[in-house]
Structure 1
């Protein structure tokens, strides 16, 4: 039975960060101030240009005696350069790879369940959550230099959620250690590893202030207790929308229930605006998304495609007061298979700041998709769309997720 969506808690201070140009300096500042521990999870950890600044900060922290634990995804992150491996090992950085890809790559269904979260906690004092990888805004591992920074967001947060983020990262760390021990020493080794890695006492924190602060919740998606929480949080907020829904999402292939929520909102008079990927990045996500546009356009949904660079954001603002920022796309990989983490926020000031940035991108950097233009798209494009959808449906059938559509 799915775990319920966590309630919003008050007492948080939030800062919206756009792109690596804002995220990396904030991350480096927090890591350089660390005294006890740094936890970092990311899908991609790259060593090019500005992303190296974050890795250097991790090395500096470890060399001054801070416990530094890093988890990267085995598919998203390529092999670590040898020079960096030696430096980080010597410094004492504890590095783990989540689900390393085997000899058959992603051809086996078991390899499709990836670690897509982007989280960091420093001294249980400050946390970061969002969609930004440790990857320079102007560099792409597959496409090379980019003409403009990719559009993406993260949140820096202080308050009660920091301990929850740390606990979520600790649980994953323990499970990874147990699975490693199981492979090496069988069941007894796994049990020994679990006993040895029981949670340490929480780090000392400053006494809470009386200030109300922003209301927020950490919403996780995994394959255990939190299988549908992020999608349900989206659908609940869309279902309650009264005036406006704005969503910016990189890989947008919503299932039946999500499509119905958006269509129903538009039909009851809510302004629904979607900012979606306009540049070709990956075949499946690019072409499987477009057949969905038709029903949305007919319902009155405004669709704009972002094309100055890659859109990588996974954010939404509803009625100017509810917002979410995180790692989860609105597609089957994120909503059904990958480990994801979003912050859900109720704070008018934060929501309005994000809303203003999204509306600027829609007006100045997005190309509107007109219903007539969509209906006249070339036959070749329709064929590629059909192929992408068939392949995606087949993959979902193999995973036992046929009801998504």
Structure 2
């Protein structure tokens, strides 16, 4: 299904928290009617407290403030920041709160693995934020002096209404789910829509793509597949958790074999060992097909972005792994705009040149049999896990 791009948007690329949080806080402080915010993580750190305080100030001056946080990623949020925010008038809901418990976390059932992985905000239906940046400090990882590497996009124009619409729909779903669950928090009514008053932007064409468990299960991977299949010059992808399924993997290799420059920027530091080594099991085939692989070393890579032929670009929350593409709720902005794509490509080029190391085919071949065997073991453990929850044949 072709992407329906909306014209007349104004897009601003935001790199890492140092650019994202000042823009978000300024928009929250300027809110007059309503604020919707979704996050996978809402940490009790200096950034989380600053955002919570701004939301509380907005609620106290009469702005409707609704915050939705994932039950797994949110961790201690329901017991730390949430009660204080509620006391100040912020409406808070938890997405699938049952998976916050140990019992919920370790039940290997497909529905219990579904997460709210989106990072979205809409203020007064005039400005929206879409990306991969959680509400947490970039520097909350011990031993890291560089910020976590990630992106978001600030949106003004017609696309803002689409972001608001998907947030309202998920809020309503969680409202009804909480009626039958013991964890109830906040007022559970839904506000009437507010008409968009955003002025036309700079003619930038963009679309919002979501991933859910009903009508939009394949929208994000299909957009990647379509763009990669049409690529003529270059594909650059930065992805935190990279374990693409057969179709995406072969699309990248096919593009490289027909002469397209295909570059993937991946996690260079070990964050989750199973995923990290499972990804490395794919290196041999990708490198043999001509795909160039770089590992980001300055800090943890958390980006989920891509640029194709300097005109197609995406920024969002969706990783190229089975957890994002088969189980989680995700949201990406896709732009068909040369200036925006050029800026994202330039930022990625800086990371590739200054903060990453290229992995060569010889690097893979020099690994001993035991090391390669461990990586393939990790890969098949992930595959077995998918099979146990009934998703093995879909990835």
Q: Which residue of 1 aligns with 2:174?
A: 176
1:6-56 C-alpha deviation (Å, 9 max, x unpaired): 411101000000001110000000000001110000000012123322111
Structure 1 residue runs of 5 or longer lacking an equivalent are 185-192
TM-score by length of 2: 0.94
Contact 1:139 1:145 (C-alpha < 8 Å) held by counterparts: no
Q: Which residue of 2 aligns with 1:319?
A: 309
Structure 2 residue runs of 5 or longer lacking an equivalent are none
TM-score by length of 1: 0.91
Q: Which residue of 1 aligns with 2:17?
A: 20
Instruction: Name the SS of the counterpart of 2:301 in structure 1.
Output: coil
Bigger shift: residues 175-184 or 337-346: 175-184
Instruction: Name the SS of the counterpart of 1:227 in structure 2.
Output: coil
1:68-105 C-alpha deviation (Å, 9 max, x unpaired): 10011111112138563443122111111111213424
Residue number among 217, 226, 240 corresponding to 1:227 in the alignment: 217
Q: Which residue of 2 aligns with 1:159?
A: 157
Q: Which residue of 2 aligns with 1:189?
A: none
State the Cα distance separating 1:400 from its structure 2 match. 2.1
Instruction: Name the SS of the counterpart of 1:77 in structure 2.
Output: coil
* Matching of residue 106 in structure 1 with residue 97 in structure 2: no
* Matching of residue 347 in structure 1 with residue 347 in structure 2: no
Q: Which residue of 1 aligns with 2:347?
A: 357
Counting matched residue pairs gives: 387
Q: How does 1:43-58 map to 2 (within 5 A)?
A: 43-58=40-55
Contact 1:6 1:218 (C-alpha < 8 Å) held by counterparts: no
Contact 1:24 1:51 (C-alpha < 8 Å) held by counterparts: no
* Matching of residue 206 in structure 1 with residue 197 in structure 2: yes
Residue number among 30, 35, 50 corresponding to 1:33 in the alignment: 30
Contact 1:42 1:73 (C-alpha < 8 Å) held by counterparts: yes
Q: CA separation in 1, counterparts of 2:376 and 2:165?
A: 42
Bigger shift: residues 15-24 or 388-397: 388-397
Q: CA separation in 2, counterparts of 1:212 and 1:369?
A: 39
The verdict on how the C-alpha distance between 1:375 and 1:105 changes in structure 2, with shifts beyond 3 A counting, is farther
Contact 2:313 2:341 (C-alpha < 8 Å) held by counterparts: yes
Q: CA separation in 1, counterparts of 2:199 and 2:210?
A: 25
Q: Which residue of 2 aligns with 1:188?
A: none
Q: How does 1:65-214 map to 2 (within 5 A)?
A: 65-80=62-77, 84-100=81-97, 101=99, 102-108=101-107, 109=109, 110-140=111-141, 144-183=142-181, 197=189, 200=192, 202-206=193-197, 208-209=199-200, 213-214=203-204
Q: CA separation in 2, counterparts of 1:231 and 1:56?
A: 37
Contact 1:115 1:339 (C-alpha < 8 Å) held by counterparts: yes
State the Cα distance separating 1:207 from its structure 2 match. 7.1
1:179-234 C-alpha deviation (Å, 9 max, x unpaired): 122347xxxxxxxx9xx95662x32433754x661000000001111011100000
Q: Which residue of 2 aligns with 1:266?
A: 256
Residue number among 388, 391, 396 corresponding to 2:378 in the alignment: 388
Aligned alpha-carbon RMSD (Å) = 1.8
Q: CA separation in 2, counterparts of 1:357 and 1:24?
A: 18
Q: CA separation in 2, counterparts of 1:353 and 1:223?
A: 33
Residue number among 50, 58, 62 corresponding to 2:59 in the alignment: 62
Residue number among 8, 20, 25 corresponding to 1:11 in the alignment: 8
Q: Which residue of 2 aligns with 1:282?
A: 272
1:120-175 C-alpha deviation (Å, 9 max, x unpaired): 000000000000001111113xxx35231111000000111111111101111111
Q: CA separation in 2, counterparts of 1:87 and 1:198?
A: 21
Q: CA separation in 1, counterparts of 2:78 and 2:384?
A: 36
Bigger shift: residues 103-112 or 7-16: 103-112
Contact 2:261 2:291 (C-alpha < 8 Å) held by counterparts: yes
Residue number among 292, 296, 306 corresponding to 2:296 in the alignment: 306
* Matching of residue 335 in structure 1 with residue 325 in structure 2: yes
Q: CA separation in 2, counterparts of 1:207 and 1:45?
A: 28
Q: CA separation in 1, counterparts of 2:226 and 2:319?
A: 17
1:271-316 C-alpha deviation (Å, 9 max, x unpaired): 0011000000002210110111111101111100001100000000
Contact 1:40 1:121 (C-alpha < 8 Å) held by counterparts: yes
Instruction: Name the SS of the counterpart of 1:303 in structure 2.
Output: strand
Q: CA separation in 2, counterparts of 1:172 and 1:82?
A: 22
Contact 2:125 2:197 (C-alpha < 8 Å) held by counterparts: no
Q: CA separation in 1, counterparts of 2:339 and 2:21?
A: 23
The verdict on how the C-alpha distance between 1:137 and 1:372 changes in structure 2, with shifts beyond 3 A counting, is same
